[in-house]
């Protein structure tokens, strides 16, 4: 059995694939850490967004944002080399090759929370933006504050798992974090290598479903019959 499609139909199918690749992201999981095992932040676990002086590998920077008890809402992007990038402003992206040279293809994002207020600091959003499109994300809100070991250089939470193995070395990568109710010192978002642990390529399952549905739709619209 075979199905005949025109070049226009095939082009439309390709458009569906392209749309799905940019419109859907792999969901990140947020996990708590109850002991000091994730870290400490060091040159082998570089910061991407932090309001403290991080130890960084050569040539690897972070957004050294300004922290204040009077600021309770943050909307921060990563940047390299190290600079202070304003709230809501995208920094200079990393490349996949740069990240892989330090971390390998798979890693997690550790969060060292620096708030002890009972009201609780809340993570609203975290995104990994690759080539200008959201490839991985976590959507809250989730309370991450009110912890005992705040601000000690170890991760209190981590977001997993990010896999860059399917992307070209030249692909650009930005990290984006939105959180509020911070009341003490500055938070640190840093990367920790996680060898192995493959995850699906962004949007793979959705791509397949859209493509199959799209082909069926083209048959209906075109009125073409399946030839046996």
Residues 20 and 33 in one domain: no
Is the same domain home to 93 and 7? Answer: no
Q: How confident is the model at residue 41 (pLDDT cuts 50, 70, 90)?
A: confident
Whether 174 and 214 map to the same domain: the answer is: no
pLDDT digit string, tens, across residues 99-141: 999 999 999 999 988 876 666 789 999 999 999 999 999 999 9
Q: Which domain holds residue 167?
A: 27-197
Q: Are residues 20 and 31 in the same domain?
A: no
Residues 6 and 118 in one domain: no
What pLDDT, on a 0 to 100 scale, did the predictor assign at position 150? 63
Q: Is it true that the peptide bond before 170 is cis, omega within 30 degrees of 0? A: no
Q: How many domains does the chain have?
A: 2
Higher pLDDT, 71 or 62: 62
Tell whether 52 and 159 lie within a shared domain: yes
Rounded distance between C-alpha atoms, residue 173 and residue 133, angstroms: 9
- Rounded mean pLDDT of 8-25? 49
Q: Determine the Cα–Cα distance for residues 15 and 8; give it in Å rounded to an integer.
A: 11
In a shared domain, residues 53 and 159: yes
Rounded Cα gap, residues 11 and 2, in angstroms: 19
My answer on whether 19 and 75 are in the same domain is: no
Claim to verify: residue 34 and residue 14 sit in the same structural domain? no
């Amino acid at each position: 059995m075979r199905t005949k499609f025109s070049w226009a139909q095939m082009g439309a199918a390709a458009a569906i694939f392209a749309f799905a690749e940019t419109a859907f992201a792999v969901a990140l999981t947020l996990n708590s850490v109850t002991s000091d095992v994730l870290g400490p932040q060091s040159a082998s676990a570089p910061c991407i967004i932090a309001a403290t002086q991080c130890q960084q590998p050569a040539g690897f920077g972070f957004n050294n944002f300004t922290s204040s008890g009077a600021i309770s809402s943050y909307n921060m992007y990563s940047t390299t080399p190290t600079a202070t990038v304003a709230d809501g402003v995208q920094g200079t992206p990393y490349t996949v090759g740069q990240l892989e040279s330090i971390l390998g293809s798979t890693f997690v994002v550790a969060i060292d929370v620096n708030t002890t207020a009972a009201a609780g600091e809340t993570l609203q959003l975290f995104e990994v933006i690759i080539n200008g499109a959201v490839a991985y994300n976590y959507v809250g809100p989730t309370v991450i504050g009110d912890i005992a070991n705040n601000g000690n250089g170890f991760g209190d939470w981590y977001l997993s798992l990010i896999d860059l193995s399917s992307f070209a070395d030249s692909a650009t990568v930005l990290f984006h974090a939105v959180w509020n109710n911070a009341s003490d010192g500055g938070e640190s978002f840093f990367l920790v290598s996680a060898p192995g642990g493959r995850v699906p390529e962004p949007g793979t399952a959705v791509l397949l479903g859209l493509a199959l549905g799209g082909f069926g739709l083209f048959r209906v619209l075109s009125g073409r019959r399946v030839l046996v």
